[in-house]
Amino acid sequence: MRMCSFCTPQDELKRAIGYKPKGIKTMSDFLPISKQDMIDRGIDQLDFICITGDAYVDHPSFGAAIISRVIEAEGFTVGVIAQPRWQGTKDFERLGKPKYAFLVTSGNVDSMVTHYTAAKRLRSDDAYSPGNQAGHRPDRAVNVYCRCLRKIFGDSVPIIIGGLEASLRRFAHYDYWDDAVRESILVDSGADLLVYGMGELQTREITRRLSEGEPIHSMTDIRGTCYLTEPRNTPIGCKECPSYAQVVQSKESYAKACKLQFLEQDPITGRALLQRHGDKMLVQNPPMRPLNQSELDKVYALPFARTYHPVYEKQGGVPAIQEVEFSIAHNRGCFGDCNFCAITLHQGRMITCRSEKSILAEARKLTQSPNFKGYIHDIGGPTANFRHPSCKNQLEHGLCRGKKCLAPTPCKNLDVDHSEYLHILQEVRQLPGVKKVFIRSGIRYDYLMEDPDDSFLRELVEHHVSGQLKVAPEHCANAALDCMGKPHVETYKQFMEKFYQTTREAGKEQYLVPYLMSSHPGCTLKEAVELALFLKIENIRPEQVQDFYPTPGTVSTCMFYTGLDPLTMKPVYVPKTAEEKAMQRALLQYFKPQNKRMVIKALRKANRPDLIGNGPHCLVRPDPSDKPRQETKNNTGGYKRTDKPQGKSGKNKRSENKSKRGTKWQQNGKTKRR
């Protein structure tokens, strides 16, 4: 599951337990987290207080850190309450009452995803918490934090919510953990205003207007925000989604609402959207424009401490910092637009990027860290090799409505150019103290294959792969790939051939590590078997397989809930039972001994017993303890058994034969009864 632009998958962070950056900063390098910090800075009352479900890590890969530093840069005082204990009021009162507002986020990841696996099992760890320990934040953290604040402070101070959890739950949404449709998080939490998307421009405008004395409820014209109002105050000229009551009752209405929400997410062409919730109307203003390059450079130049707060040192630190401490984010947005990804509804499809000067300045700063060993782990983002808009038309007209730039085939207007990104990589790896620059956030190989110039691929192979390059074909069956919004597998095969050829020419031994997903909508056991055969033919043995995780706010989650593709309204097959999910997952790792029985069961259910055997084309060998009956056809066209039990009386034989009536037998693909 890839939920946000700078999040690292949970499994890659587990190895970071106990990691401690050298040269821990002092308290004064961070924003206030206690009354004593306020006293030391001569602050009687903070202007704004940020509450986050993550531990306090003052690094630009953490959304709460960016927003709090942006507020500080506007000339306001701001404090941070990280992972408050929600069972009481003490932590929420720690910094007193802010002058203008509380800003609330669950952290970098939806709190339910942080707590539960795709199988809804409780996780035992949390890389965004001190010591990698789970349990430092509640389920549905935004709702819980807001209700605690209302209980303590009433309506005397505005509450503004943002971040991934708020952004993706801004409309009525299917909640996988409840297996039900929930109201907008703005209704559920009781907050006054919701900021969706990356949030810097919205935050600047909100803070300025609050400081000028404007009430929060009059701020109904800020792009990139949602608010609740009386139906009679609904603005004109908006597109209306089916209401909360309608999407609860009708899956078709839910799919129609989902389609509208995705079609209106372009900052140039997007229109305001409405969705009725009982006696209130939810209004989503059009998306905020992305930051331009100068603005983005300024954000990353803010005085981040770039590590976790010293208060966590005794608990072993915050392991999430390891994957990002020496990584550089150079872009935002992704026109790859995979259906299972949250980026489209959160960051958007339009690419914005930092200047080469800004990236080099950050790289030099990294080399001066006491913990730097010469390796920059990543210069990337949602997709590392996107530095430009997908085409020139979108700068004036926005991205195409209802169409994808790369899938199922690349658009004929696609503008492919790796030259600037390649130059940045070359310049960074020439910096004193830099031994190696890796690309770990992933590349779009389908975009790379459209580049007539092979320079980027050659330098990628020669300089920027740490033995393994992670890419995301996700599947090989076209039916599944179409539902995912991914290119067909022929593109991946061409890339594999080109990558390994370039690797051989460079005299290196490097490998592709494909991300694969099981049980996505549109994937039956037939497609899962097809993928298993593809892996066998290509000699790919994935160590990890991701079950599809229906997280809030994605097209794929809409498919999972409704059984419809919201963009076409055509029915989609959805694997939902635990047994079928287990079978699909086992097929992707058919080579593991512990999966053998499940693979055999799946192959039989998929009518592919020909893949059970000792031949080179087979996926698994037969199970010795599961001998199939042998049947021969008699002269009358019926069947007789050739493995009759020995040593039984005729009576017992007749009883046994009688007990076999009703058993199904297969002949020429037709089901008959004996």
The helix (run of H) or strand (run of E) holding residue 579 is: helix 578-588
pLDDT score recorded for residue 395: 85
616-622: Cβ within 8 A, 24+ apart: 619/532, 619/533, 619/536, 619/587, 619/590, 620/590, 620/596, 621/596
For residue 429, how many other CB atoms are within 10 A of its CB? 17
Phi, psi of 143 (to 5 degrees): -60, -45
Q: Match 């034969």 to its residue by tokens.
A: 657
The pairing of strands 564-565 and 225-229 is unpaired
In whole angstroms, give the CA distance from residue 165 to residue 317: 24
Residue 93 CB neighbours (<10 A) = 16
Residue 233 to residues 218, 223, 279, Cα–Cα distance (Å): 12, 18, 12
Alpha-carbon distance of 144 to 151, in angstroms, equals 11
Q: How far apart are CA 622 and CA 629, in angstroms?
A: 13
How far apart are alpha carbons 355 and 328 in whole angstroms? Answer: 12
pLDDT, tens only, 272-315: 999 999 999 999 999 999 999 999 999 999 999 999 999 999 99
- Rounded distance, CA 281 to CA 419, Å? 48
Query: For 57, which DSSP code?
Result: B
338 labelled as ligand-binding? yes
Round to whole Å and give the CA distance between 59 and 304.
6
The confidence score (pLDDT) of residue 314 equals: 94
Per residue in 159-168, pLDDT tens? 999 999 999 9
Domain regions of the chain by residue span? 30-219, 220-289, 509-628
pLDDT value of position 25: 67
What's residue 631's pLDDT? 46
Q: What is the DSSP string of 203-250?
A: HHHHHHHHHTT--GGG----TTEEEEE-GGGPPSS-EEPPPHHHHHH-
Residues 6+ apart with CB under 8 A from 416: 447, 450, 451, 452
Predicted TM-score (pTM) above 0.85: yes
pLDDT at 161 (0 to 100): 98
Instruction: Using 70 as the pLDDT threshold, list the residues of the chain that sit under it.
Output: 1-25, 626-674
pLDDT at 624: 78
Q: Is the dihedral of CA 32, 36, 41, 43 positive or negative?
A: positive
Where does 374-476 have alpha helices with state H?
Answer: 394-397, 419-429, 445-449, 455-463
Q: Quickly list DSSP for 624-643.
A: TT-PPPPEEE-TTS-EEESS
Peptide bond into 408 cis (omega under 30): yes
Cα–Cα dist 479/490, whole Å: 14
Beta strands 511-518; 468-474: pairing state? parallel
| Residue located via tokens 């009982």 | 278
Spatial distance between the Cα atoms of 648 and 659, rounded to a whole number of angstroms: 15
Amino acid symbol at 182: R
Exposure string over 112-137, b if 16+ CB within 10 A, otherwise e: bbbbbebeeeeeebbbbbbbbeeebb
Token pair of 271, please?
A: 């229109």
What helix, strand, coil percent values describe the chain, rounded to 5? Answer: 35, 15, 50
Spell out the alpha helix ranges (H) of 278-391: 293-300, 321-324, 343-346, 356-367
pLDDT of residue 466: 86
Q: How many CA atoms lie within 13 A of 611 on its CB side?
A: 21
Instruction: Specify the 3-state DSSP secondary structure of 502.
Output: helix
Q: Has 341 been labeled as part of a binding site? A: yes
Average pLDDT, the chain: 90
Whole-angstrom CA distances from 477 to 448, 527, 559 are: 21, 6, 18
Q: Write down the pLDDT at residue 11.
A: 40
Question: Could you tell me if 347 and 32 are in contact, meaning their C-beta atoms sit under 8 angstroms apart?
Answer: no
CATH of domain 30-219: 3.40.50.280
**283: β partners:** 227, 274
What span, in angstroms and rounded, lies between the C-alpha atoms of 405 and 414? 7
Residue 659 burial (C-beta neighbours within 10 Å; 0-12, 13-18, 19+): exposed
| CA–CA distance, 196 with 432 (Å, rounded to integer) | 40
Over the stretch 561-619, which tens digit does the pLDDT of each residue have?
A: 999 999 999 999 999 999 999 999 999 999 999 999 999 999 999 999 999 999 999 99
Distance CA 318, CA 295 (A): 29
pLDDT at 244: 98
CB 527 within 8 A of CB 478: no
Q: CA angle 598-604-605, nearest 5°?
A: 85
Residue 672: its pLDDT value, please? Answer: 34
Residue ranges with strand state E in 399-527: 436-437, 468-474, 511-518
Q: Where are the beta strands (DSSP E) in 41-130?
A: 48-52, 78-82, 101-105
d(CA 326, CA 632): 68
